[in-house]
Amino acid sequence: MWDKKNVYRTTKCFSSKIDNDYPGGFPFNFLKWVNDMGWRGQRRCYLCSGAVKDDTAVRVDLNPSVNPDYLEDASNTTIESESFDWIMIDPPYTKDLATSLYGMGKHYHSINAFAKEAERLCMPGGLILTLSYEVPKRIKNCNVIVCCGIYQTLSVAHMRCFTVWKKINPLVNHKLDV
């Protein structure tokens, strides 16, 4: 049974480097840290994938220059429901950043639109991870298990909220705490 007192909470500092040269990329070694902490799945999907390098994952993005597996709006995909046990959402954090970095401001959504789609795509027992300036609203059928402030030293980037949600498995007796 989920207990909100057991939510892992902390702040985590990374260097000012990013994992690739793509603007808005993950902090250097962020995905390694996620993996080391045990928050990694086998069937992975990145919504708003940017130029993330993960050859065994499905990547969804509106930007054709990053060669996503699905060139479509990550808040409303054509992917079959419950296809993944791990979904990472790292959207542009503001409409201004969506416009200035990617020219996609007219397609900007809050983290909650992507979280709703992630819940549809996630298998019961799977994880949904978000990295954004916004703290997501409670994701339907999910319990938050991690909430971290992510920042980078010597960087102009603001602190971001990193959350990990576990989708409940209806075949197991779970109670959503409200």
Contact 29/40 with Cβ under 8 angstroms?
no
Give the model's pLDDT for residue 178: 44
Q: What domains appear along the chain, each with residue ranges and CATH number?
A: 4-167 (3.40.50.150)
Give the global pTM.
0.88
Measured CA distances, 100 to 24, 97, 105 (Å) = 11, 5, 8
pLDDT tens figures, 163-176: 999 999 877 755 55
pLDDT tens figures, 11-42: 999 988 887 766 677 889 999 999 999 999 99
Under DSSP, the state recorded for 104 is: -
pLDDT tens figures, 136-164: 999 999 999 999 999 998 776 788 899 99
Contact 50/25 with Cβ under 8 angstroms?
yes
pLDDT tens figures, 46-95: 998 878 989 999 999 988 988 999 999 999 999 999 999 999 998 866 66
